[in-house]
Amino acid sequence: MLLILSMGLILITIASIVMMLASLLSKKSIIDREKSSPFECGFDPKSSSRLPFSLRFFLIAVIFLIFDVEIALLLPLIILLPLTAPNTWFLVGLFFLLILVIGLYHEWNQGALDWAS
């Protein structure tokens, strides 16, 4: 047990040192206005170099990822079917699906799924 604890302490120490070194070495010391401005063949840019970001698209992508992970969490239920009691398996699956449906209803009710609005 002492060996595992000492190895964990050594690993945490090494990881902390590497993160501090990376943080110190990656800092830019000189911030130049000319270097941070957009460059277009020596002329001033005609339009903004930054494209507007669609927050609606980002929200839909995050919702998709959340539900995708939740569906991936449902897959082990199929493997556990022969290993557990049917009543327990059914209640756990029903409870998990109920949480998913309540979350979907809440997002729908808040208007997070309305793409065109």
Q: Would you list the DSSP string of 56-87?
A: HHHHHHHHHHHHHHHHHHHHHHHHHGGGS-HH
54-67 pLDDT, tens per residue?
777 888 888 888 88
Q: Does pTM surpass 0.75?
A: no
Domain ranges in the chain are 57-117
Q: What percent of the chain has pLDDT over 70?
A: 76
Altogether, the residues listed in the chain come to a count of 117
70-95 pLDDT, tens per residue?
888 888 888 888 888 989 989 988 99
Asked whether the beta carbons of 93 and 70 are under 8 A apart, the reply is no
